[in-house]
Amino acid sequence: MCTNGRWSVLVMISLGVWGGLKGDDPYQPPGILWERGIDLQRPRFFPLDGGGAIGVGFTVDGYVIARIDSAGEIVWSRSAPGLLPHPPNPTLSGNQFVLPFKVAGKLHVVSMSAEGNTLWEKPILDPSIAFPTWAFRTSRGSFLLAGQVESKEVLLELSADGTSYTVHYLQSSPEIYDELYGVQYLEPLPAGGALLNVVGQAGGIERWLKLDPAGGVEWDIYPFKRSWYKVRGTMLGEFVRAEAPFSNQNSFSLSRFASDGKLRYSKPFDVSINGADFRPLRDEGLILSGSALIGADSHSDIQLIRTDARGEILWRLSVWPGGGGGPTVSVEPDGSFLVLLEGVSTSIALRTEPDPVLRPAVSFIRGDANGDGAVDIADPVATLGFLFLGDAAPGCLEAANTNDDGEVDISDAVHTLNYLFVGGAPIPPPFPEKGTDPTPGAPGCFST
Ligand SMILES: [Ca+2]
Ligand SMILES: [Ca+2]
């Protein structure tokens, strides 16, 4: 029956030849695809969900707001003379963002499209409203900006089209209100809502208010001793706080909190990191970027650090020697990491290869190694050709992993042949219809 010459590779079973491919190793640091300069001085970067970032900084033409794409290129920039000196995180919603500006001494909120066009501009007429800091989009479509009115902490709520606003005082609880001193941080959460951080009047403490998706105060939690820190929400609705005490910023720790604000665990990090940024990842691990102290002479490099869900380090990668200011890290849609380094004259963008765990899944038919939409004799032939004859790799390795055991090897070709011709074991899903892998893991399917 073995008339096709390629079937001769089956002889290799008896010769004991055994090839296998498990896909990329998540415990190995990814390579750096490119790095390039960005013509922005002393910028702040705000990653965008769809990839790239908004950068706010200086050029030779003055203060600008710029859109940086996933390739690290400035795709547009526009003059932003009235932008506040410490601009808040642009509040993103679909294809637009909002930022507060000062125009002739008066506060305006401007909504821009991702192309940099002004969608609407709303003057905030109440002259007592000052310094909106951070903001998020509520479930009603409105925008909440944290700020102050006559020394009282408020949330300023703008309607979705910017035509009206209302002021909510954060004084529902006298106990909370007494401790409010200054809103310094508002972190939108992936599951909706936000965490609002305020500094206590007594100084030296902070507290968090959890805002629900509609903008109401859901709970507030234990005052923290003030420190350098960042907090981010995870995909599962938990929170991770990265922290370094002001007294010793080389002492870095990670804490994870449940969705009700209760501490789950806190652990010192065994790497000293300054000026870190981090993002929770789809697998509940973290990607951190920061200036890490290296070696006995304690010089610092900008490093990328990948952890698992328990905060254990999977890999570390030095991405820029000699340190630098405020690296921002974000996850691109393809699962790669975009790192933006704030520079005094020129800033730096660099991007890694995709993280194997974070690459978006692609639909496939298990067993369809050659990707032609049918499972037939040509598929084990393609798999064997790849394993033993140097033919091109299947576009979707998971499709070639017919027995769903985590790697592509000769047993997959055998499984397909047995199924097709001798009534062997069925092919695990997705089969016979196209679908995503119900048992995700190596080798994965990221293209067809
Ligand atoms: Ca096929
Ligand atoms: Ca297999």
Tell me the pairing of strands 135-137 and 205-211. unpaired
Q: How far is 54 from 66, CA to CA, in rounded Å?
A: 6
**Residue 310 buriedness (CB in 10 A; 0-12 / 13-18 / 19+):** exposed
Q: How far is 318 from 324, CA to CA, in rounded Å?
A: 12
Ligand nearest to the CA of 373: 1
CA of 358 to the centre of ligand 2 (A): 21
CA of 374 to the centre of ligand 1 (A): 4
- pLDDT range class, residue 7, cuts 50, 70, 90: very low
Instruction: Share the mean pLDDT of the chain.
Output: 81
Q: Does residue 45 contact residue 54 with C-beta atoms inside 8 Å? A: yes
* Per-residue pLDDT at 15: 39
Ligand nearest to the CA of 366: 1
Predicted confidence (pLDDT) at residue 357 exceeds the cutoff of 70: yes
Predicted confidence (pLDDT) at residue 283 exceeds the cutoff of 70: yes
Ligand nearest to the CA of 414: 2
* In a domain? residue 409: yes
Q: What angle in degrees, to the nearest 10, is found between the helix axes of 410-421 and 378-388?
A: 160
Q: How far is 32 from 30, CA to CA, in rounded Å?
A: 7
* DSSP bridge partners of 257: 239, 263
Tally the residues of the chain: 448
Which residues, 6 or more positions from 243, have their beta carbon under 8 angstroms from its beta carbon? Answer: 227, 228, 229, 252, 253, 254, 255
> What is the Cβ-side half-sphere exposure of residue 397, based on CA atoms within 13 angstroms?
20
* In a domain? residue 407: yes
CA of 305 to the centre of ligand 2 (A): 31
* In a domain? residue 422: yes
Tell me which range, 20-29, 198-207, 423-432, is most confidently predicted by mean pLDDT.
423-432
CA of 382 to the centre of ligand 1 (A): 9
Q: How far is 141 from 215, CA to CA, in rounded Å?
A: 11
Ligand nearest to the CA of 364: 1
* In a domain? residue 424: yes
* In a domain? residue 398: yes
CA of 289 to the centre of ligand 1 (A): 42
Which residues, 6 or more positions from 29, have their beta carbon under 8 angstroms from its beta carbon? Answer: 304, 306, 315, 316, 317
Predicted confidence (pLDDT) at residue 13 exceeds the cutoff of 60: no
CA of 381 to the centre of ligand 1 (A): 10
Q: How far is 170 from 216, CA to CA, in rounded Å?
A: 10
The structure tokens 């003030």 sit at: 226
CA of 14 to the centre of ligand 2 (A): 18
Question: Span 426-440, mean pLDDT?
Answer: 92
CA of 402 to the centre of ligand 2 (A): 6
Of the two residues 361 and 420, the one the predictor is more confident about is 420
Ligand nearest to the CA of 372: 1
CA of 141 to the centre of ligand 1 (A): 46
In this structure, the number of other CB atoms found within 10 A of the CB of residue 247 comes to: 8
Q: Look up residue 293 and give its two tokens.
A: 């102290």
* In a domain? residue 128: no
* Per-residue pLDDT at 30: 93
Q: What percent of the chain has pLDDT over 70?
A: 80
Of the two residues 68 and 85, the one the predictor is more confident about is 68
pLDDT in tens, 212-270: 888 888 887 766 666 667 888 888 888 888 887 766 666 788 889 888 888 888 888 87
Question: Span 360-373, mean pLDDT?
Answer: 93
CA of 336 to the centre of ligand 2 (A): 26
* In a domain? residue 287: no
CA of 41 to the centre of ligand 2 (A): 51
Q: How far is 112 from 46, CA to CA, in rounded Å?
A: 14
CA of 4 to the centre of ligand 2 (A): 23
Which residues, 6 or more positions from 398, have their beta carbon under 8 angstroms from its beta carbon? Answer: 364, 366, 437, 443, 444, 445
Ligand nearest to the CA of 376: 1
Ligand nearest to the CA of 19: 2
CA of 360 to the centre of ligand 2 (A): 21
Question: Which residues have a beta carbon within 5 Å of ligand 2, which is an ion?
Answer: 401, 403, 405, 412
The structure tokens 């697998």 sit at: 283
Q: What is the three-state SS of the chain?
A: CCCCHHHHHHHHHHHCCCCEECCCCCCCCCCEEEEEEECCEEEEEEECCCCCEEEEEEECCEEEEEEECCCCCEEEEEECCCECCCCCCCEEECCEEEEEEEECCEEEEEEEECCCCEEEEEECCCCCEECCCCEEECCCCCEEEEEEECCEEEEEEECCCCCCEEEEECCCCHHHHHHEEEEEEEEECCCCCEEEEEEECCCCEEEEEEECCCCCEEEEEEEEECEEEEEEECCCCCEEEEEEECCCCCCCEEEEECCCCCEEEEEECCCCEEEEEEEECCCCCEEEEEEEEECCCCEEEEEEEEECCCCCEEEEEEEECCCCEEEEEEECCCCCEEEEEECCCCEEEEEECCCCCCCCCCCECCCCCCCCCCCCCHHHHHHHHHHHCCCCCCCCHHHHCCCCCCCEEHHHHHHHHHHHHCCCCCCCCCCCCCECCCCCCCCCCCCC
Question: Span 402-411, mean pLDDT?
Answer: 92
The structure tokens 């940099």 sit at: 116
CA-based nearest residue to 198, from 236, 165, 164, 231: 231
For the chain, the domain total comes to 1
Q: How far is 434 from 362, CA to CA, in rounded Å?
A: 10
Range(s) of the domain holding residue 374: 1-25+356-448
The structure tokens 């960042």 sit at: 230
CA of 368 to the centre of ligand 1 (A): 4
CA of 358 to the centre of ligand 1 (A): 26
Which residues, 6 or more positions from 175, have their beta carbon under 8 angstroms from its beta carbon? Answer: none
Q: Look up residue 64 and give its two tokens.
A: 């600008």
* In a domain? residue 394: yes
CA of 426 to the centre of ligand 2 (A): 14
Question: Span 326-345, mean pLDDT?
Answer: 88
Q: Look up residue 178 and give its two tokens.
A: 């007494």
Predicted confidence (pLDDT) at residue 53 exceeds the cutoff of 50: yes
Which residues, 6 or more positions from 275, have their beta carbon under 8 angstroms from its beta carbon? Answer: 290, 291, 325, 326, 327
